[in-house]
Amino acid sequence: MVCKRIIMSESTVNVSRREFLGGSLLSGAAWMLGHAAFSAEPPDDLDRWILLADVHIGQDRSLESRGIKPAEKFAEARCQFLALTPRPTGLIIAGDCAHSSGLAGDYAVLSEELAPVNDANIPVYMAMGNHDNRERFWAAFPQSRTRSAKSGLEKHALMVEGIHADWFVLDSSVQTGVIPGEMGGPQLAWLANELDKRPDKPALLVAHHYPTDAKDDNGLRDFDALWDVIRHRTRVKAYFFGHSHRWVLGQREGVHFINLPALAWLFEDQPRAWTEVVLGPDGLRLQLHCLDDTRPKNGVRHDLLWRA
């Protein structure tokens, strides 16, 4: 496969959508970092992560879903981010890894698609979405099961130690096919305990479901309970999620909320894209890489500062 050219842009855009969670839960915001945080020439130890969401890989590669073949789109994105220099520190998929109901065949194809990433020695971490099946996922990816078993939870939750921040990959899936999500008390207690162990190290949360407001009950139903955990723990700097197949940035009381775009089928006029995240000591840089490189949002950067 020939990779499409990646367009780099220096522009920073504030994104705000009235429809995003009713326009009340979060406020749109993007903050510029100082030039010292990210230089024009990336250092050799660049802390770069690739985030995907809603890849929806199916067991039948030839089957078109809503006009596209998800495995082909995944391969196209993979070809692009594997061409980055230096190579990414890690890859995180924010749920809905499988096509529809988390079949064993879905995960078999996903494993094949991830083989070049593994060969490049880039660790892969995946969250559970409403189209995933936890048991079949664990069977296909035993190393992922081993990582999450350390949490002692029935859900797939894990912490990944990073250079500038720790990643918490959380499980918001209730069960396969149930659209709304829920963290649950045991997982929230585990999260609070882990956050308290290293209160001064920045923490980034990743899960599948978006915060839910009164106008939409298909998101994270116990978001208020999650917010109680993270609100006063200033270690938490951002929450990344998918599920809505939209690209939206928001902020609440200094916590950044990043709605990752889908890589498979699209809703409304949204980009099909993967997201590059570069971490620094005081914040992060987001860069959107659209598979359709003619889209105006392709290459746009958003520099976000950590809350104090």
The pLDDT tens digits of the residues spanning 214-239 come to 677 899 999 999 999 999 999 999 99
Q: Is residue 27 part of a domain?
A: yes
Query: How many structural domains are present in the chain?
Result: 1
Q: DSSP character for 79?
A: H
Evaluate if residue 128 carries a pLDDT over 80.
yes
Q: Is residue 166 part of a domain?
A: yes
Nearest to 97 by CA among 141, 63, 64, 67: 141
CA-CA distances (angstroms) from residue 105 to 98, 109, 193, 296? Answer: 9, 6, 36, 36
Q: Is residue 2 part of a domain?
A: no
Q: 272 and 288 in contact (C-beta within 8 Å)? A: no
Evaluate if residue 16 carries a pLDDT over 50.
no
Q: 36 and 227 in contact (C-beta within 8 Å)? A: no
| DSSP secondary structure letters along 150-209 | TTT-SS--EEE--SS-EEEE---B-STT--SB---HHHHHHHHHHHHHSTTS-EEEE-SP
Give the number of other Cβ atoms within 10 Å of residue 308's Cβ: 5
Q: Is residue 147 part of a domain?
A: yes
What is the rounded end-to-end Cα distance, in angstroms, of the chain?
Answer: 45
Nearest to 170 by CA among 181, 157, 189: 157
**Residue span of the structural domain in which 111 resides:** 20-35+46-305
Tell me the average pLDDT of the chain. Answer: 88
Q: Is residue 117 part of a domain?
A: yes
Backbone angles phi, psi at 116, to 5 degrees: -65, -30
Determine the pLDDT at residue 174: 97
Q: DSSP character for 106?
A: H
Evaluate if residue 42 carries a pLDDT over 90.
no
Q: Is residue 1 part of a domain?
A: no
Q: What is the dihedral of CA 175, 176, 181, 182, to 10 degrees?
A: 20
Determine the pLDDT at residue 10: 29
Q: Which residues 6+ apart lie within 8 Å of 42 measured at CB?
A: 48, 85, 86, 278
Evaluate if residue 3 carries a pLDDT over 90.
no
Q: Is residue 144 part of a domain?
A: yes
Q: What is the mean pLDDT of residues 51-70?
A: 94
The pLDDT tens digits for 157-173 are 999 999 999 999 999 99
Q: For residue 154, what pLDDT band results from cuts at 50, 70 and 90?
A: very high
Q: 133 and 99 in contact (C-beta within 8 Å)? A: no
Q: Is residue 11 part of a domain?
A: no
Determine the pLDDT at residue 297: 85
Any idea what the CATH number is for the domain that residue 182 is in? 3.60.21.10
Q: Which residues 6+ apart lie within 8 Å of 99 measured at CB?
A: 56, 57, 58, 59, 65, 70, 106, 131
The pLDDT tens digits for 244-295 are 999 999 999 999 999 999 999 998 889 999 999 999 999 999 999 999 887 8
Lowest mean pLDDT among 11-25, 185-199, 204-218, 282-296: 11-25
